[in-house]
A and B are shown apart, each in its own frame.
Chain A
């Protein structure tokens, strides 16, 4: 129920963001295609391409499946135990892998699961002769689960926590058994978000690069993203890079469409907004199982992080933090992350507003429905456009206008914003939808609209998801190396870039220390992102 102005404004903002993102990607592609490479390797669909395509899909599908399947019991257990000791910290830790440069995460994982890692040392002590090697598909899966299980668990947990508190009162008064609770309450709630989560994680895994190469054990483990990088950075063959990117987007889009065909039931009703109390799961076996699930997931998450901490603690942290290079990089990273985060949140809000306006129409025409659909598709598929394509394209585009280094921070921020968009949408869209269901009619009948509605009705309620989304996006941007590496100029040095440049100059110790600091910054961000949760408990 929107006023004419609100509807028009929503559509307008949506058009603006659709046009903006399409232009940003389109211009980069056009610039690349119009560049006369002269050395195109014409054959795109060689046996090699098919092989990496097959491997890309295989590892992405398996990684996604494992991440979501293991995340479900963890999310259920965390939802059932609102007062589990240290719960808020477990949830905060879950946001950390996101903000780590992947190589750092990989080294942390290797510290635990590697040939010389903690696990193998234990096994060797127990009498095993040869270390168990994770390199190969198993290593890739392990790393992808490490990075994506927490993401899936957090999004599932959010969906479970959006259920009305009355449901738990009801289920306990009806004497529902745990399986009935799962079947009738928890699973329907999870099922609504699982297609979206699956799609997001599938895209992340399909475009994985460093993890696949480092842990894959050999070139048999290669993703399309590697081939795209190779064709642009090493061979400088733009048409091939574009063709491979289109292949990547096309195939993944097909998978996403297939996922979206799974029917999602309607969203649950409204709630009185009372604090959540759970009455189920009070039996000893249920407690044990939940504790087991939470502790196992926490250990899986925390051990590699601990190995990063252990390595980082050996560095001279104080001199690192006070060095001019660090301070400059930290400021650059922060400015880029904040711009990217704010942009991502604003763009998401525009998309949500536009889709809401279309839904609000009594009989949306074909154009309106197509518009709404393309907004939805854009906000997720944009993750599949390789940053190397965007960066190189824009470099060519801006080159005639002077030193590209001047534009680089803005470009990096926009590229990071695009990467963060699907995540931000996943956090914001359901929250806004629930909020609208609760307050939409009341606000409309009172005529509260425009700024007053945003400031008095929307912001206070949506502040928490907004900050969560912002901290998500900022953490992503902070940990991203890819976009910066393209421009790699001495004027634009971010924290991950600093970590890598120390690594490439033998200064492993400094790199470990910087990685630890980066991790602490990300933890700080997620504390801001989850700060509303403690207040909710008090209220």
Chain B
């Protein structure tokens, strides 16, 4: 399996914090990025997404060097914890912006938008405003946008952290379904060991800005020889 995402000797200094990432993430798999708070999970994601540029090293997506590329030029979709939708635009427009940033949409695109909404369980919500939706519905809409973008990599930064446990479960199922259908590469930042087990094929553990372990989920959840990981897993 080719590496979908690679961080090649990436170094970055933010204020007093130093990060050094060197890892390769498998294509077509769901990889969980975990670690204690402040360890650098989101920074890793920001590097891949392009919100941070490394001081040293390279970032590769599907073998292509994207280190100097603007976020919009990288083959990725993004879902944040919150503020995934422009509050003043309806759902169809929000999702349409994922297809064309200048909103030049064909009839087929409109159909795709409706289908994507349907697929995430928001059929008929095209003209609804984000403010009228619940938190779970807003995240579903963000999923719908990721669907229509058809990018090989999906980056998610604690996408379900703001949802209640029941919702988290159903969202995890939705993610799994969608992943089966699209077969894309998913990076999901989470601080919840249960979620790692539920969602991921692989897991990356980060502590103090360094990757301490990269392993398949089963191995990851059973390792006890790395003290920070053991502490993390015991919650």
Contact = CB atoms under 8 A, between A and B. Distances in A.
Interface of A: 1, 3-4, 270, 272-274, 362, 438-439, 441-442, 444-453, 456-457, 460-461, 539
Interface residues of B, number: 26
B49 A445 contact: yes
Main secondary structure of the interface of A (DSSP, over half): helix
B78 interface: yes
Contacts of B78: 441-442, 445
A449 B93 contact: no
Given A456-B103, A460-B88, A445 B83 contact: no
B80 A4 contact: no
28 contacts: A1-B50, A1-B70, A1-B71, A3-B72, A4-B70, A270-B82, A272-B82, A273-B131, A274-B131, A362-B53, A438-B83, A441-B71, A442-B84, A444-B70, A445-B49, A445-B50, A445-B77, A446-B72, A446-B97, A447-B71, A447-B72, A448-B72, A448-B102, A449-B72, A450-B102, A456-B89, A457-B86, A460-B89
B131 A461 contact: no
Contacts of B86: 439, 442, 456-457, 461
A448 B101 contact: yes
Interface in B65-116: 70-73, 76-78, 80, 82-84, 86-89, 93, 97-98, 101-103
Nearest to A453: B101
Given A270-B83, A442-B83, A1 B51 contact: yes
Contact of B71 (A439, A444, A450): A444
A461 B101 contact: no
Contacts of B84: 442
Contacts of B88: 460-461
A539 B129 CA distance: 10
B51 A442 contact: no
Contact of A444 (B72, B82, B93): B72
B184 to A, nearest CB: 16
A419 to B, nearest CB: 32
List 8 A-B pairs, minimum CB-CB distance, nearest first.
A447-B72, A452-B102, A448-B101, A273-B87, A444-B71, A445-B78, A447-B101, A460-B88
A274 B134 CA distance: 12
A442 B50 CA distance: 12
Given A445-B76, A445-B78, 7 more contacts: A442-B78, A444-B51, A444-B70, A445-B49, A446-B72, A448-B97, A456-B86
Contacts of B82: 270, 272
A464 to B, nearest CB: 11
A441 B51 contact: yes
Interface in B47-64: 49-51, 53
Interface string B133-169: 0000000000000000000000000000000000000
A249 B144 CA distance: 56
A533 to B, nearest CB: 15
A452 B83 contact: no
A453 B76 CA distance: 19
A3 B83 contact: no
Contacts of A460: 88-89
